[in-house]
């Protein structure tokens, strides 16, 4: 394989920079799944997509060329463009997840200890806990009041906002701490956010928790949030700050949540840019992959099949077998990232089967762990079809595994769709420092992923 930068001309780099600039801006304002879905709907609305609910309410038939989306609780999204071909002959599907490792606030998060106010957290997904201390953190999410009012929360991103953080022990007193295993250097219950230190001014001499009460007074005054409102809140703790160009040559992007928003954005961008196709095309942006794709907004839920059933009905396919026949005849790219080869940690990589920066989009035949446990294992016929499509569209690609066989492993949403008899393979961008608060990707690989997804939608 060769570094693809050597093969680009001016027009390639111009389009690459446009795609990557738009992606970096999207990433900076789409740190949690609700924000990804909201911003994706804005992009879809600009392309004249309609909410499928309006068709269902009016019992309005769908026709070729119609563009619709299904918003599932504000945290997952499915989009469709109806093709000329009978939908039961299958679709071309792109599917990515939009949740990322983070810290979540507990239901009763705010407390005071020795005149410091804290927020109690529970980490979400696979993280190295020690990476989350002593960095600026922001709060994103929603608070839902008892009357149903939804208050959007974003504190820590504006230059005028405060930021928050998790303290660590100074090295001078950390001799015992440094003897611990990396997984125990910082315990999960120590990942609490320091949020205040000034006591509320009061005439009551024996009143307790005055720092906590002062913080609650600020929350009530500025954001109309009371302590009990945390019971019906979903607030996520994420790194504060925008995604940035990385390296003197500005050939890379550093940002939070690139697993898997780098594939979500390029999938959505390719989907929205795709010209009319014979087959129906679909893009899935789904929640909860980092914790097993569970819950009503995860890929294991029936929301996608329910949406597809509604679409089949509005296309005149009311038979019970319509959805199963459609899925059985569909092709899908599970748009998810891969671990890029890092020379500093080469001991966990099989170099002959690793993915490399600047060598294009990555196909991963199987994920899972060790003996392929829990994986989708794509068939050779489908891979051959994809090789032809990539070559026809001049897409630079590589095929890799996640790491050495006994080094560990991971999973995606691919196996869930494979269980529905969809022909599916993982396909995405290589990432350095995956699951860290700040992850790194190659602009060339981002561009090749966009080209790959567009080619797949058109020709699979």
Q: What is the pTM of this model?
A: 0.95
pLDDT beneath 70: ranges in the chain: 368-371, 403-410
Q: What is 102-239's CATH number? A: 2.30.250.10
pLDDT score, position 368: 65
Q: What is 4-100+256-459's CATH number? A: 3.40.630.10
Cα(406)–Cα(129) distance, integer angstroms: 23
Residues whose CB falls within 8 Å of the CB of residue 416, separated by 6 or more in sequence, listed in order: 293, 299, 300
pLDDT score, position 374: 73
DSSP letters, 297-310, are TBTTSSHHHHHHHH
pLDDT tens-digit profile of 158-195? 999 999 999 999 999 999 999 999 999 999 999 999 99
pLDDT score, position 370: 66
Distances (CA, A) of 109 to 103, 161, 343, 437: 12, 21, 41, 22
Which tokens go with 93? 């599907």
Residue with tokens 């569909």: 330
Distances (CA, A) of 27 to 35, 420, 426, 438: 10, 31, 21, 12
Q: Would 4-100+256-459 and 102-239 be classified into the same CATH topology?
A: no
Domain ranges of the chain: 4-100+256-459, 102-239
- Judge contact between 198 and 211, C-beta under 8 A: yes
Distances (CA, A) of 113 to 90, 120, 189, 201: 59, 12, 14, 18
Answer positive or negative: Cα dihedral of 27, 33, 38, 40.
positive
pLDDT score, position 316: 94
pLDDT score, position 406: 58
Characterize 377-395 residue by residue with b for buried, 16 or more Cβ atoms within 10 angstroms of its Cβ, and e for exposed. Answer: ebeeebeebbeebbeeeeb
Cα(287)–Cα(36) distance, integer angstroms: 10
pLDDT score, position 403: 66
């Amino acid at each position: 394989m060769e570094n693809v930068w050597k093969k680009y001309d001016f027009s390639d780099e111009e389009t690459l920079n446009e795609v990557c600039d738009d992606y970096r801006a999207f990433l900076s304002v789409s740190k949690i799944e609700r924000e990804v879905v909201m911003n994706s709907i804005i992009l879809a609305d600009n392309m004249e997509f309609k909410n499928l609910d309006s068709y269902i309410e009016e019992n309005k038939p769908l026709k070729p060329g119609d563009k619709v989306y299904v918003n599932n609780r504000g945290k997952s999204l499915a989009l469709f463009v109806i093709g000329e071909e009978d939908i039961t002959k299958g679709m071309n599907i792109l599917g990515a997840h939009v949740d990322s490792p983070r810290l979540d606030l507990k239901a009763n998060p705010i407390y005071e200890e020795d005149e410091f106010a804290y927020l109690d957290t529970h980490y979400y997904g696979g993280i190295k806990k020690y990476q989350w201390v002593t960095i600026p953190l922001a709060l994103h999410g929603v608070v839902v009041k008892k009357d149903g009012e939804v208050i959007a929360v974003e504190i820590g991103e504006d230059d005028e906002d405060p930021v928050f953080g998790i303290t660590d022990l100074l090295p001078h007193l950390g001799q015992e701490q440094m003897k611990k295993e990396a997984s125990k250097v910082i315990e999960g219950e120590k990942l609490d956010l320091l949020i205040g230190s000034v006591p509320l001014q009061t005439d009551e001499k024996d009143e307790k928790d005055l720092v906590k009460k002062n913080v609650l007074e600020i929350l009530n005054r500025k954001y109309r949030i009371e302590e009990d409102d945390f019971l019906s809140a979903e607030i996520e703790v994420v790194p504060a700050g925008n995604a940035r160009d990385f390296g003197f040559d500005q050939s890379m992007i550093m940002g939070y949540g690139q697993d898997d928003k780098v594939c979500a954005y390029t999938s959505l961008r390719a989907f929205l840019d795709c010209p009319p196709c014979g087959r129906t095309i679909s893009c899935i942006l789904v929640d909860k992959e980092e914790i097993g794709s569970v819950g009503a907004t995860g890929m294991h839920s029936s929301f996608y099949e329910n949406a597809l059933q509604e679409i089949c009905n509005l296309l005149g396919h009311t038979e019970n077998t319509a959805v199963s026949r459609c899925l059985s005849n569909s092709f899908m790219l599970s748009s998810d990232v891969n671990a890029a080869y890092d020379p500093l940690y080469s001991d966990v990589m099989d170099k002959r089967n690793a993915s490399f920066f600047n060598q294009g989009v990555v196909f991963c035949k199987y994920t899972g762990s060790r003996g392929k446990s829990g994986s989708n294992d794509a068939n050779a016929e489908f891979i051959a079809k994809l090789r032809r499509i990539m070559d026809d569209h001049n897409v630079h690609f590589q095929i890799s595994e996640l790491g050495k066989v006994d080094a560990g492993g991971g999973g995606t949403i691919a196996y869930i769709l494979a269980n529905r008899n969809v022909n599916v393979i993982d396909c995405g961008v290589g990432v350095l420092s995956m699951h860290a608060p700040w992850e790194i990707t190659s602009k060339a690989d981002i561009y090749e992923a966009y080209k790959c997804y567009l080619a797949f939608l058109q020709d699979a």
